[in-house]
A and B are shown apart, each in its own frame.
Chain A
Amino acid sequence: MDLRSLTASSSLPMGHETSIAPDCILRTNELSLRYGSHLAVDRLSLTVRQGEIYGFLGRNGAGKTSTIRMIMGIVRPDQGSIDFGGQTTRRIGNTQKRLIGYVSQEQFFYPWMSCERLGKFVGGLFPTWDTKEYDRLLTVLELPPNRRVSHLSGGMKVKLALALALAHRPEILILDEPTAGLDPVARREFLDIIRKQAKEHGRTTFFSSHLIDEVERVADRVGIIHRGRMQFEGPLEELRQHVREITQSELLEPPMATELGLRFLRHGLDERESLLFQGTPDAWNAASDRGIQSQSLSLEDAFIALASEDVGKI
């Protein structure tokens, strides 16, 4: 069966919204970033809504950190723009940065500073810095104020980064794989804090991860990136509806898949004799009407289907 034609379906990821949602707080428009000849991010668009927890999923090297560094204004996109803080710009400036709380993948704090001293230094750069809140966060996160950064464990450093990111009461919290390197307990604690922050303070949170269970635990919506391109953006349940498995591949002729609006993703997982497709619920209903039976996938399988190396290839 020639499935090559199935890959010619819409390049826009399913669930992607083309118009700005009224409650949108952050939006990237066709962001691209190239490192030499390597295209790290390819015309990536995403939308983060007010108050939601947005899980940015992708494999290692998919372009998550590059995207976040562009959103943070650390690197300048080669093309595209960012809507944030009421402005559309290629690269966000210091004024907009002050509205963001950021936790990077690795923490490079000054080792000679204590938690308290670090708070004073960072606080001086944010007009909205709340020292009481920072002290409270240190207490809640069980961080000794007078302990030097060099004497903190990896988990404690991530917590410290979170305290620093929250204490100036940002409009959005951006976390770049914050739990990488943490043990399961610390990871769970960290995610609980994130969830609590969102629940109690309505804090918009954008966090990247390559762990589907962690995203599943806290995210309202997800964006899945692969090879720098957005594969899917929407609620988690929608992901399950969009990515399904067809075992009766002989029934699905190539013209029919295109006609139905289904996009071939890959061959079945775990060496199953099946094909994985991506499509809207309407497309799947139409397929069902033609006698093609499909099965839903676990979130992990759906993620793997979208984030596999051979997406769109036979």
Chain B
Amino acid sequence: MWHLVRKEFSEHGWLLFIAIPLSLFGFLIVLAGAQVNEAGSPLEAVRFFGLSLFLALELLLCNRLVVQEYSGKTQLFLEALPISRATMLLTKYMLGIVIATATLTATLMFALVVGMRGETYDARFIALVTTRLTVFVFCTYSFFFMMGLLGRYRISIYVLLALFWIFLSQTTEFDTGNHGPFGLLNDKFAYERTIYPTTNLIVCVAAGIAFFAVSMLMGITREGSIAGLLAERMSYREKLFMAIVLISMFFAGSILNEKKRPQPYSIENGISRVTGRVAVHVENASETEKGASLANQLADQLHDELVAIEEFLDVRNPSKLFVVQRSDLDADRFESAWLENASGTLVRVNYLSSKWNYQEFQPFIIDKWLSESTNYNANFEPQCWVLEGFSDYWPRRMHANASTEFDPKLQVDLRAAYAGSIAFEGSDVNSWYRYRERVGEPIARAVACAGLVLAEREYGAEKVREFLQVMLGREQPGDVRADFRRWLRPISVVWKETMGSDYEVFQSQWASELRNLSESFKEELSKCPILKAECEFSAKSSWSRELLISPICDPLPQTNSITIRYNELTAFDVWEHDYESETQIETYNAGLVIRVHRLFSRGERIRWTTSTRVPELGCDVISGWQRVEVE
């Protein structure tokens, strides 16, 4: 076997010597470039590498190791030597997979080392990403190996598979980006810390075994004649046949190009407002005239709002909006629902409440509607601040006569100033979700809004609109193409193209602007408390622990109360909605130590913060969400 390995290295070593360093160099560029610096994790670079350059490298490897051997018929020379066909094939398979694994492992290790500067990786997480990558390599390499043995038909089959993939993506509800090997390197790859994608892993291992088995069957059965015959050149008839098949597939694909979207969600007894592609349906849950009037009013408000946004952002596939009345909700609590088998944006609110305030609801619904309309592309770091900023920017723009001067009377401006007084660095924009956990959702949204207002003042409204259209509007694919689009045209590139200025420079300007703002609004901010808190655990038994939280609020909260928010972290801890947390309201006094009304078990992971209402800001301020493991 070693003689074969040496032979393979002599034959292909020079190419590997060029291809592997080149692909690794490509990985380093991705890692070092603006794209990854702005991404939430350096492992995003591994993901991008795995789905692009690495697949190309595997294709090249199998082409060299398998296709070249059989098309040159040199396997007939090997057959006459004291080497079995199985040994020959296994050598090629093992050599290729070892090279592929080593390449991807190198990128993973490098990314982990880089990532360790800002993130904590536990053994489970490393085992998880390693498992995902190992199975990904096994499945994809086995596939390319098998394709290599298909000889003259391999290119046609590649084309057919690509067409089929586009067909699936375009015309069915099948989510191509989350199945099979693509599912192993999906957008959760860099962040999911606990849950193994069991189904995808099983499918990929099974597929890998099947590909490997088919490869061995082709290479060994009937004395290896199948692979040998397939490696022969295509006859004229075959070429003609394949051309006809491919052209037919292409036309069939064009005809079926109309994407089959899931049926829209429907609500009974709804009030509908439809203009063009924008549709708003509000449930009329009350039998009274007043209730119907409120439902009509809400439908009109939402309809006008969304039509204006659609026009402003040039949203090509606006999501249908469904609003359901929930009388058990507080007026300032809004819930969005995940629609499993239907399309649209479904929210639950209590618009019949006497405390209902449309202005409070406005940022929430803009955020949710645009998330859905952009196929959630707008929610990805590092560009997610644009969506959050727009949800405050739009009402501010509409209701403050498009002023780009910050006004202390506007709560959203005061919130931004508040953020400037506690901490905001330009680099926080790149890890937005982390920043949002530090300051809370309303403050973070105001900061993002301030960024857009500043951009409008600096570069003009039209340029900002163009930028917003690229990020939030127009056509937004819902499959792997979106990932590639984000990689190829990250926000820094879009910013440069639309604004004509450097994104990093703008981030510095933005941070500076907020600091100045906090100075300008010093008097207003003096009434707004800054909240800090620490926690410790007290043992109640060998396994149960009590959580003690010591908040420090300076100046004292005007409401005189402080709220503890906490929730147990589930296995998938990337994202937790603040409203899903448990709350405990206490009266604040200096030196207060709050005993949380729940015991925790050792090893449990929780997320907690303290908050207090600040009337000047019109929202809560928080001490910052913290994640801790109960010791």
Instruction: Give residues in A with beta carbon < 8 Å to B.
Output: 72, 74-76, 94-95, 97-98, 102, 104, 106-113, 117, 121-122, 124-126
Contact = CB atoms under 8 A, between A and B. Distances in A.
A124 B3 contact: yes
A109 B82 contact: no
Contacts of B84: 94
A148 to B, nearest CB: 13
Nearest to A176: B80
Given A74-B223, A75-B223, A117 B80 contact: no
A265 to B, nearest CB: 34
A3 B565 CA distance: 109
Given A74-B223, A126-B82, A109 B74 contact: yes
B7 interface: yes
Nearest to B7: A121
Contacts of B3: 121, 124-125
Interface string B7-26: 10011000000000000000
A76 B223 contact: yes
B74 A97 contact: no
Contacts of B11: 110, 112
B79 interface: yes
A122 B81 contact: yes
Given A72-B80, A125-B81, 12 more contacts: A74-B79, A74-B80, A97-B81, A98-B82, A104-B76, A104-B80, A110-B77, A117-B10, A121-B7, A124-B3, A124-B6, A125-B83
B72 interface: yes
A72 B223 CA distance: 13
B17 to A, nearest CB: 15
Interface of B: 2-3, 6-7, 10-11, 72-77, 79-84, 223
A213 B69 CA distance: 37
Contacts of B79: 74
Nearest to B80: A102
24 contacts: A72-B80, A74-B80, A74-B223, A94-B82, A94-B83, A94-B84, A102-B80, A104-B76, A104-B77, A106-B76, A108-B74, A108-B75, A108-B76, A109-B74, A109-B77, A110-B11, A111-B72, A112-B11, A117-B10, A121-B3, A121-B7, A122-B81, A124-B2, A124-B3
Nearest to B77: A108
Contacts of A122: 81
A117 B9 CA distance: 13
A108 B71 CA distance: 11
Contacts, number: 48
A110 B82 CA distance: 17
Contacts of A107: 77
Contacts of B10: 113, 117
A136 B77 CA distance: 23
Instruction: For the complex of A and B, list the 3 residue pairs with the smallest distance between their C-beta atoms, beginning with the closest.
Output: A94-B82, A124-B3, A97-B82
Contacts of A117: 10
A104 B83 CA distance: 16
A126 B81 CA distance: 9
B82 A125 contact: yes
A108 B73 CA distance: 6
A118 B84 CA distance: 19
A76 B82 CA distance: 15
A289 B11 CA distance: 71
A110 B74 contact: yes
A110 B11 CA distance: 9
Nearest to A103: B80
Name, among B74, B75, B76, B80, the residue most crowded by chain A CB atoms within 10 Å (CB to CB). B80
A113 to B, nearest CB: 8
Contacts of B7: 110, 121
Contacts of B80: 72, 74, 102, 104
Contacts of B74: 108-110
Contacts of A109: 74, 77
A109 B7 CA distance: 12
A109 B73 CA distance: 9
Contact of B72 (A74, A94, A108): A108
A111 B68 CA distance: 11
Contacts of B223: 74-76
A121 B2 CA distance: 10
A125 B91 CA distance: 15
Nearest to B10: A117
B460 to A, nearest CB: 62
B543 to A, nearest CB: 62
